[in-house]
């Protein structure tokens, strides 16, 4: 059995590591998209309104949105207008999917490969912007306040990773999971999940991105695949017990 990792020993995900993981995640997304057949792009994903093509357009769109200040500002305004009474992110993603629909599949991949490193560098340099507060809607209807730093260091990479999961599940293509990259992202999710619910537990995550994590003594004992654990916390699969604690992706 793997050595258990106390939650308190998981280091927070910060720059410059966050920028390295961001660039690597874009590369892995592009690699996955490049492995798809033409038929794969029209397959339905776990995102109800999106097929693989729409998810890919969104992934590229996020890379573009967070790659330069003028682009960021204009896309935020367009997203707010498109959202109406809904959360801003819903409008932003709709704008992205529609805007890049005319691109060919190959163009989406090529542009993502170019925009990914640019976005990672831009995200890592935003010093003053990192303190900007943002109101965010949870799935349960509650609101949270995040700093932009949390978005650029954590959420954008998690979002891309989870959409890579969506595409992999829809097409049957392997994610090529590794402990170094995927395991680090999953461990960060575990740490946030633990902070949010504050209860003792032993969590055994199976698969290449997994590990054994503990917090306190006794508590709930959970054994589950690492990717499925994240899918549940993101709202993509049914939850029970401590797994009902939402973690943003």
Share of the chain above pLDDT 70, in %: 99
Say if residues 149 and 157 touch (Cβ distance below 8 Å).
Answer: no
What is the structure's pLDDT at 141? 79
Partnered with residue 207 across adjacent β-strands are: none
Please give the mean pLDDT across all residues of the chain. Answer: 93
Taking every pair of C-alpha atoms in the chain, what is the biggest distance, in angstroms? 55
Comparing CA positions, the residue from 24, 25, 128 lying closest to residue 69 is 128
Q: Which residues pair with 145 in a beta bridge?
A: 135
Asked whether 206 and 176 are in contact (CB, 8 A), the reply is no
pLDDT at 136 over 80: yes
Q: Please tell me the predicted confidence (pLDDT) of residue 130.
A: 82
Which domains are assigned to the chain?
Answer: 4-244 (1.20.120.450)
- pLDDT of 125 over the 80 cut: no
Candidate from 17-21, 55-59, 117-121, 224-228 with smallest mean pLDDT: 117-121
- Binned at pLDDT 50, 70 and 90, residue 126 comes out as low
Check whether 124 has a pLDDT greater than 80: no
Q: Identify whether 16 is preceded by a cis peptide bond (ω within 30 of 0).
A: yes
Say if CB 109 and CB 34 are below 8 A apart.
yes
165 in Cβ contact with 175 (< 8 Å): yes
Indicate whether 38 pLDDT > 80. Answer: yes
Mean pLDDT in residue range 71-87: 92
Angstrom distance (rounded) from CA 195 to CA 198:
5
pTM listed for this prediction: 0.93
| CB of 14 closer than 8 Å to CB of 152 | no
Helices assigned H by DSSP within the chain:
17-34, 52-65, 69-83, 88-99, 105-125, 148-150, 156-171, 184-197, 226-233
Work out the angle at residue 114's Cα, subtended by the Cα atoms of residues 147 and 166, and round it to the nearest 5 degrees.
65
Mean per-residue pLDDT, 228-236: 97
The answer on pLDDT for 160 being more than 90 is yes
**pLDDT(97) > 70:** yes
Q: What is the pLDDT of residue 131?
A: 86
pLDDT of 161 above 80: yes
Residue 150 has pLDDT above 90, yes or no: yes
């Amino acid at each position: 059995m793997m050595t258990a990792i106390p939650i308190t020993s998981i280091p927070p995900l910060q720059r410059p590591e966050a920028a390295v993981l961001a660039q690597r995640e874009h590369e892995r997304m592009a690699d996955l998209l490049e492995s798809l057949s033409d038929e794969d792009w029209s397959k339905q994903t776990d995102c109800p309104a999106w097929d693989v093509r729409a998810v890919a357009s969104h992934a590229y769109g996020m890379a573009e949105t967070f790659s330069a200040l003028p682009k960021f500002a204009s896309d935020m305004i367009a997203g707010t207008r498109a959202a109406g009474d809904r959360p801003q992110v819903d409008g932003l993603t709709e704008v992205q999917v529609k805007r890049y629909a005319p691109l060919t599949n190959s163009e989406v991949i090529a542009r993502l490969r170019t925009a990914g490193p640019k976005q990672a560098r831009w995200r890592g340099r935003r010093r003053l912007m990192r303190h900007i507060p943002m109101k965010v809607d949870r799935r349960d209807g509650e609101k949270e306040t995040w700093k932009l730093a949390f978005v650029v260091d954590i959420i954008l990479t998690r979002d891309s990773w989870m959409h890579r999961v969506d595409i992999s599940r829809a097409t049957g293509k392997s994610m090529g999971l590794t402990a170094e990259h995927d395991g680090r992202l999953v461990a960060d999710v575990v740490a946030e999940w633990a902070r949010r619910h504050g209860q003792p537990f032993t969590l055994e995550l199976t698969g290449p991105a997994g590990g054994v994590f503990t917090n306190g003594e006794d508590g709930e004992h959970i054994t589950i695949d690492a990717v499925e654990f994240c899918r549940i916390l993101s709202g993509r699969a049914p939850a029970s017990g401590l797994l009902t604690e939402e973690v943003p992706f």
